[in-house]
Structure formats: C-alpha cells, structure tokens
Amino acid sequence: MLQNTIKQKFLYSHLGWKYPETIHVGRLSLEGVMLSKSKMRRKIAEGYEVYDDLRFGTLSALRRRGIVPETIHEIIKSVGINPVDARISYANLAAINRKIIDPKAPRYMLVIEPIEITIYNAPKEHKIGIIRHPTTKVREEYVLHGPEIHVYISHRDLNMLVNKKMIRLMDLANVEYRGVKYKDGTLVVETTFIDNDLETARKKGLSIIQWVPKNDYILIEILKPEDDKIISEYGYVERAIESIEHGSIVQFYRYGFVRIEKTVKGIQAIYAHS
C-alpha cells in the first residue's frame, strides 16, 4: 500500500539507508466471487468445500468452473501493471474464456427436465449424425428404428412445440405436433415425422431443439454457483459423453459450456458460462 511506503521511506531516511525502488500494483478483483481469505476460512469452517469451492475466486475454483489458464493470462495482460485497483466482471472473464475454448470444446445434446416424445410414421431405419464440432465436422452416428421413435426433449421446449405446431429435432427430423397423452401416469408428447430436410426447416423457419434417445442416455448433475448457493440441475445427456475424460470442457447445445467431473455416482458437470 502507498501509505506503508511513506512510512518505510521515513524509517529508511532516519536510519540513513538507501530506499529500494518500489512498484505499486493495484488489486485485481473479480465480481461475483469471494476473494477475501478471512471470509473463505470462515465459510470453510461453516461447511463450504475447501479452496476450490465454486463460490470462491481462487485459481483452483476458477479451474473447476472451466476457466482455462490462458484466460487468466489474457486478463492480467489486458489490465497490466497499474497502481489503481481494477474490477472485472465474470461476464468479461467468460467472454475471453469462450473465445479460447469454443474452437476446441466438443458439442453434446442435453435435456433438462426430460419430456418423452413419440414420433410416428418414422422410417424403418433412420440413420443420422450429430456434429461434435462445426470445424471438424466429426459426427456421432445414430440409427433409430421406426415406425415409432422415442426421444426426450427439455421441458422448456414443450410450449414451443405446442404453440408452433412444427419443430425440428436437431439432425433427426422435422416433426408436427399431434397432441399429448398419459402413459403409466407420465406425460408423453405425440408428433408425426414429416422429413429430415434441413432446407425445409429453414424455409418454414422451424426452431431447432436438442434431444436424447429414450433408451440410450446417461443421467447428469450440473452444479451452478449462484450468489452464496450452489444449485443442482439434473438431466439426460448423450451416452457418448462417458468417453470424455475428467476435467474436459464441453459445450451442451443451447445450454452452455461445462467442465466434466466424474464421480462415484456418475457424471457431474460444473457450469462455466453460456
């Protein structure tokens, strides 16, 4: 602190010593996370995890949230050496991180609060490919068998389907809404297979939503820090994600980037940003 420097210079002068060159660097703060070490210690005593708790602003906590080292380097270089304190928002940090991880992060389909959809009049053998990354064009192949195909979509997309009557399931099919029914006490949405032509979907202005096969998915828990809480969202994700290594960063279509953590209970992910 500058005030301490004044005191030190007085002492050095009094003793006849040569005062060394000093450089004052302001504090770099990140909004939305806890940076005070004394507060962290109190929170850990109250039951928080250790210093990689998602609500902390430590390097280990940011790493768990999918913030890569290159992002930290870029932030420090952009702020520079400045005697004035600087504050950056998590949104700015996320924007830099997104540019770095987007070219490498593979894409997967995820549905939150799954709702079953039945697609009638589908081809007997329907082969499709889900793009893992737009630059590499690598695809995950699926073979779904008609005339009835059963998949899950996110509950939040149900109103879109009901209101617009037609929708495109990503790379799977353009479908038309028929109605709903209850099967064993569970809501099932009924649709009709129209075609799988992307140009048709574009001409009709169909919204595109993600899905997962009914009989080939894995349960996933996603942790999201919000203020002083960590909330959990549960959903179904493509089973292919099981091959992803612990610590990898992936993108879920229409959801955002997450960092994968494998636990004894299965797949857990930490939400990074959109």
Q: Are residues 128 and 93 part of one domain?
A: no
Q: Are residues 86 and 116 part of one domain?
A: no
How far is it, in rounded angstroms, from Cα 176 to Cα 174?
7
Q: Are residues 88 and 110 part of one domain?
A: no
How does pLDDT run across 139-158, given as a tens digit for each residue?
889 999 999 999 999 999 99
How does pLDDT run across 220-252, given as a tens digit for each residue?
999 999 878 999 999 999 999 999 999 999 999
How does pLDDT run across 4-50, given as a tens digit for each residue?
888 888 899 889 999 898 877 778 888 888 888 888 899 899 888 78
Q: How confident is the model at residue 214 (pLDDT cuts 50, 70, 90)?
A: very high
The Cβ of residue 174 has, within 10 Å, a number of other Cβ atoms equal to 21
How far is it, in rounded angstroms, from Cα 104 to Cα 29?
28
Q: Are residues 183 and 111 part of one domain?
A: yes
Q: 27, 243 in Cβ contact below 8 A? A: no
Q: Which amino acid is at 270?
A: I
Q: How confident is the model at residue 185 (pLDDT cuts 50, 70, 90)?
A: confident
217: left (phi over 0), alpha (psi -120 to 50) or beta: beta
Q: In sequence order, which residues have a C-beta less than 8 Å from that of residue 36 and are 6 or more positions away?
A: none
Q: What does the pLDDT average to over 207-217? A: 95
Q: How many domains does the chain have?
A: 2
Task: Tell me which residue range forms the domain holding 70.
Answer: 2-101
Q: Are residues 243 and 131 part of one domain?
A: yes
Q: Are residues 182 and 116 part of one domain?
A: yes
Q: In sequence order, which residues have a C-beta less than 8 Å from that of residue 272 and are 6 or more positions away?
A: 65, 66, 67, 94, 97, 249, 256, 257, 258, 259
For the four alpha carbons of 44, 47, 53 and 57, in that order, the dihedral sign comes to: negative
Residue 76 has pLDDT above 70, yes or no: yes
Element counts in the chain: helices (H) and strands (E): 7, 18
The per-residue pLDDT of the chain, averaged, comes to 92
Q: Are residues 133 and 69 part of one domain?
A: no
Q: Are residues 150 and 82 part of one domain?
A: no
- The length of the chain is 274
Last residue of a domain, one of 45, 66, 101: 101
CATH number, residue 62: 1.10.1160.10
Last residue of a domain, one of 77, 101, 125: 101
CA 178 to chain centroid, in Å, comes to 33
Q: How confident is the model at residue 261 (pLDDT cuts 50, 70, 90)?
A: very high
How far is it, in rounded angstroms, from Cα 55 to Cα 215?
36
Q: Are residues 110 and 91 part of one domain?
A: no
Residue 217 has pLDDT above 70, yes or no: yes
How far is it, in rounded angstroms, from Cα 116 to Cα 212?
10
Last residue of a domain, one of 101, 136, 161: 101
CATH number, residue 132: 2.40.240.10
Q: How confident is the model at residue 57 (pLDDT cuts 50, 70, 90)?
A: very high
Q: Are residues 252 and 145 part of one domain?
A: yes
Q: Are residues 118 and 70 part of one domain?
A: no
Residue 1 has pLDDT above 70, yes or no: no
For residue 131, what are its two tokens?
A: 């793009």
Residue 74, CA atoms < 13 Å, CB-side half-sphere:
14
Q: Are residues 186 and 119 part of one domain?
A: yes
